[in-house]
Amino acid sequence: MPSSTPIRSFMRTATRYLSEPHPHGRHPATMVPHRHYAPFFMRRMAGTAAWYFPVGAVLLGWPFMTSAVLKKTGF
């Protein structure tokens, strides 16, 4: 097998240098998992829904509102 070129060896070295030596986001087996706190997520979802539907109505309904205003004003 031919030897690698200097560019390939540099790229391999750079890749190994930039990669993390240990698995990312792994916790030891002795660590207790976080508790799922449902009220926090329900409050967050309700707050998102409270904005999602009115904003969606405005974004999808502005052509109809503009059409109604322009018909009333005569433009």
pLDDT of residue 75: 64
Give mean pLDDT in consecutive 10-residue pieces for the chain, a chain of 75 residues: 80 84 71 86 94 93 92 77
The upper half-sphere exposure of residue 46, i.e. CA atoms within 13 Å in the direction of its Cβ, equals 6
pLDDT of residue 31: 77
pLDDT of residue 45: 94
Q: Look at residue 74 and give its three-state secondary structure.
A: coil
Residue length of the chain: 75
**Short-list 57, 56, 53, CA closest to 65:** 57
- Read off the pTM: 0.42
pLDDT of residue 19: 78
